[in-house]
Chain A
Amino acid sequence: LANVKMSMNPFDEIAVEEAIRLKEKGVVTEIVAISVGPQKAQETLRTALAMGADRAILVLCDDEVEPLAVAKIIKGIADEEAPGLIITGKQAIDDDSNQVGQMVAALLGRPQGTFANEVTVEGDSVVVKREIDGGLQTVKLALPAVVTTDLRLNEPRYASLPNIMKAKSKPLANKTPADYGVDTAARLKTLKVVEPAVRSAGIKVPDVDTLVAKLKEMGVA
């Protein structure tokens, strides 16, 4: 990943957007954006600040951090900050793990609303409509709670140029995993990474009859 363009994970953009919308509705007073990673992750936090987050915490860690360690760091921050709602993306599109939100909820002993399609805060609880296999499910969670965002929760806004400039002066605290007593040693050893098998090249059929004939040859139609 030496020379690759990096950006905020799409599901996290949706999470930031949802937090801002809740603030705009008046049910949230402050938004703290968190990232765990190298110094470069600061840029991602500035993006969140430019979108509308109030302040940010960067937990510096140069090694790759697994979901369990990230969850423990978030728990450490949550213990200090006591947020009413923790919003994460449902999965990061690099490791595709889909674990952090659920793990944070488990470590904090809080309820979880994963794959959220709609989030409504009602007094001391949050109603989450979840995208599940086969349709949608609505659950009611006692606050404080953890919510992970699915694609259709909202359409994230773009940070405007004035807001990007303003974000530069918003507070950003630097921390380390040790501040929260978290050991980031990997539990999973990556033995190797290979490219998936390449498919053999296809053919182009000129018309529908040939296509159907081919399908019949395969024994499927």
Chain B
Amino acid sequence: MSKVQDATLAAITAASQLGEVTALVAGAGCDGAAQAAAQIAGVAKVLKADDAAYANALAENLAPLIAGLMADYDGFVAPATTTGKNVAPRVAALLDVMQVSDILSVEGPKTFTRPIYAGNAIATVESTDAKLVITVRGTAFAKADATGGSASIEAVSAGADSGLSTFVSAEIAKSERPELTSAKIIVSGGRALKDAATFEAIITPLADKLGAGIGASRAAVDAGYVPNDYQVGQTGKIVAPEVYIAVGISGAIQHLAGMKDSKGLFVSGSQMPRRLHPMQL
């Protein structure tokens, strides 16, 4: 049985605030995922598009499939993951509608809030388009229950492979740790950790002790202390854990954009960074 990502469960919560939810599962050999999707509370129907063309979620093949299905739906909702952000705008353009990116809340049938200027302002926007295309900030919505639903699964026929793009390879960072965007505690390190070995020596044992996810600032990633998918911030991951522990991080606005909705925040360093100061617990 496949596990549905937390970000997807949050997107389903957002979608159910707009109306009846149909989940689309597209992939190669995606029976398990379709069955998992059918059990999510709030999902009325699951559409399954099982075809080699949908392996690796290439936007060139997925977007026409979704745009084609949209004749029967008022809106398309995707989590603001790298996959959602890659595919959804392509769907929106095919439908000739504006996408509403990274929504924080549903205010009405066509009204949403979303962050702008790296989260330093919250805009309320109303779509005037006939169809909605939305990406959802995973940390802003509760996760839908992964069980308790009993949706029917319906197979949809696949479109042709666009032939425009092909998957070559993937390097996925192996991690036993909780996924960063759903971790309850995150220990994050910055430039002041000096090098990869010090980062490992200081951050890892603390994270192990707390069962925490490990994050990093852009400076730490650029300097090669950790891989790029550890980056928290405007252009990295947006997180909102119970506790965010920032070690050796100055608190640049691009970093704050990714973690300022954390419930508790602890900052370590002999000199308290001024920007983080008003944010401590």
**Contacts from A to B (Cβ < 8 Å):** 66-68, 71, 90-91, 93-107, 109-115, 117, 127, 130-142, 145, 150-152, 186-196, 199, 201-204, 211, 214-215, 218, 220-221
Contact = CB atoms under 8 A, between A and B. Distances in A.
Contacts of B235: 90-91, 150-151
Nearest to A113: B165
A187 B123 contact: no
21 contacts: A68-B92, A94-B117, A96-B118, A99-B89, A101-B89, A102-B85, A106-B63, A115-B86, A133-B181, A135-B227, A139-B165, A187-B98, A188-B100, A188-B126, A188-B127, A190-B125, A193-B121, A199-B278, A201-B280, A204-B272, A221-B243
A71 B164 contact: no
B164 A102 contact: no
Contact of A202 (B124, B228, B280): B280
Contact of B234 (A68, A96, A134, A188): A96
B277 interface: yes
Interface string B73-94: 0000000011101111111111
Contacts of A203: 280-281
B122 A195 contact: yes
Instruction: Sort A-B residue pairs by CB-CB distance and give the 10 closest, nearest first.
Output: A202-B280, A102-B89, A106-B93, A111-B164, A103-B93, A99-B89, A187-B98, A138-B168, A111-B165, A135-B172
Q: What range describes how many residues of B lie at the interface?
A: 35 or more
Contact of B101 (A99, A132, A195, A204): A99
A96 B116 contact: yes
Q: Which one of A93, A109, A211 has the greatest number of beta carbons of chain B within 10 Å?
A: A93
Q: Which one of A99, A140, A150, A190 has the greatest number of beta carbons of chain B within 10 Å?
A: A99
A164 to B, nearest CB: 27
A145 B58 CA distance: 14
B222 A106 contact: no
Contacts of B101: 96-99
B97 A201 contact: no
A188 B164 CA distance: 31
A221 B210 contact: yes
Given A96-B101, A199-B260, A202-B277, A131 B265 contact: no
Given A96-B234, A193-B122, A131 B170 contact: no
Nearest to B233: A151
A199 B251 CA distance: 15
A71 to B, nearest CB: 6
Contact of A133 (B82, B98, B184): B82
A133 B81 contact: yes
Given A66-B98, A94-B116, A220 B92 contact: no
A96 B103 CA distance: 11
B102 to A, nearest CB: 7
A101 B163 CA distance: 19
B99 A218 contact: no
A140 B224 CA distance: 26
Contacts of B242: 218, 220
B200 interface: no
A95 B243 contact: no
A220 B111 contact: no
Contacts of A189: 125-128
B114 to A, nearest CB: 8
A197 B76 CA distance: 29
Contacts of A135: 170-173, 227, 229
B59 interface: yes
Interface string B113-150: 00111111111111111000000000000000000000
Contacts of A187: 97-98, 127-129
Contact of A97 (B60, B99, B260, B281): B99
A190 B102 contact: no
